[in-house]
A and B are shown apart, each in its own frame.
Chain A
Amino acid sequence: MKIRSVSVFTFSTFVMILLLGVIAVAQDQGVVAHDAWVRMPAPSKMDTALYLVLENHSSQTRAVVSASSETAAKLEMHEMKNVKKDDSMSKSGDSMGMGGSDSSMNKPSQSMMTMTPVSKIEIPANGKVTLAPNGLHIMMFGLKSRPAMGDKINVALKLDDGSIVPVVATVK
């Protein structure tokens, strides 16, 4: 009976340690990146945009504060915004359609799209943020060599807590 008790105790301890280990690993996973891709730069350009999904598996809001890559001179975070011609930063949908009797559809929209640098990209706790065309993206300036379709490009994202999120992006 004593041996059986010791065995049960040992087994329970082992399971407990295993569970704690799994929890620790889950918390350590923090922010992960996936579905990363880089737009093939225009023939005359050595600059392009990086898009990806960032998932935050921790209970703390995190933020990307900088990005770097051995393949480019400088990376910057940007956002596409819709602005009115008079520089007011109001959201304005492009209201034009395929012509009709409605007079509001007979004039071009006065809203413009512009690219604006941002100092950080926040990832909500237990949430995600998607960098995609027409929204947030990471500009890669000064590519050191012209990539080919399908190439893999390594990028490192630095978070506000000092940790690094590795990214492998496919050129498309």
Chain B
Amino acid sequence: MKKWGWLATFCLLLAMGCRHAQLPVLPVGGDFALTDFNNQTFHLASLRGKAVLIFFGYTSCPDVCPTTLSKLSSVYKRLGDDASRVKTLYITVDPQRDTPTVLKEDLGSFHVDALGLTGTKAEIDRVVGLYGASYEIVPTPDSEAKYTVAHSTTLYALDAQGRTRILFPYEATVEEIVRGLRTIFESDS
């Protein structure tokens, strides 16, 4: 019986180790500094100890960005008590229009623990490059909008050590994002 007890313990530990090994550290990301929607310098490193979701968008985006933010509202609701373990960073790719005031005002309408980030074009481009994201200003002179911004839609999930662990596609469901975050929480514990 003693032998079987040790074997069961070994298998349990192996299974726990295997589950953590299924979540690799991805070769994108890294620390950065931008300006938050309170007009303060923000360092990603300040969020150590929390999981982080990063999304690149812009507040004049009528469709993709509000859809993602609405989805994240549902994610936070589904996380319940664990909602405080994850912070969302909304990095604008339209710093010309998305001032800190605009970011704060518009993000406040979603039930997401989100911090809006902006900066100079060079600062934002650096972060875009670090995370392998992309964006392009597209002039639309015949439209009331004057220009629109094409942008990648990947949602990046970082662990409490600031390492990128999951890349959620735009089509990821609320359930998939919640499950992924819980896996990250477990890998941090």
Contacts and interface: CB of A to CB of B under 8 A. Distances in A.
B50 to A, nearest CB: 19
B170 A98 contact: no
Interface of A: 39-40, 42-45, 47-49, 73-74, 76, 80, 83, 85, 87, 93-101, 105-117, 133-134, 137, 139, 141-142
Interface string B56-94: 000111111011000000000000000000000000000
B59 A45 contact: yes
Interface stretch (B9-17, B24-32, B119-127): B24-32
Contacts of B133: 108
A95 B62 contact: no
Contact of B153 (A43, A76, A94, A142): A94
19 contacts: A39-B66, A44-B102, A76-B143, A83-B150, A85-B134, A94-B171, A96-B169, A98-B166, A107-B27, A108-B154, A112-B151, A112-B152, A114-B151, A115-B63, A115-B145, A117-B140, A137-B63, A141-B144, A141-B145
A134 B67 contact: yes
A96 B154 contact: yes
Given A42-B59, A45-B59, A139-B62, A111 B152 contact: yes
Contacts of B154: 94, 96, 108-109
Contacts of B132: 107-108
Given A108-B152, A111-B153, 13 more contacts: A39-B66, A44-B105, A98-B176, A98-B179, A99-B22, A108-B154, A108-B156, A108-B167, A109-B154, A113-B151, A113-B170, A117-B143, A134-B67
Interface centre among A83, A95, A134 (most CB of B within 10 A): A134
A134 B102 contact: no
Interface of B: 22-24, 26-28, 59-64, 66-67, 101-102, 105-106, 108-109, 131-136, 138, 140, 142-145, 148-154, 156, 165-171, 176, 179-180, 183
Contact of B62 (A44, A48, A101, A117): A48
B28 A108 contact: yes
A74 B179 CA distance: 42
A161 to B, nearest CB: 24
A47 B61 CA distance: 10
B168 A98 contact: yes
Given A43-B105, A115-B62, A117-B140, A110 B152 contact: yes
Contact of B66 (A42, A73, A114): A42
Instruction: Report the 5 A-B pairs with minimum CB-CB distance, sorted nearest first.
Output: A114-B150, A94-B169, A141-B144, A96-B167, A108-B132
B27 A106 contact: yes
A137 B28 contact: no
A133 B106 contact: no
Nearest to B64: A113
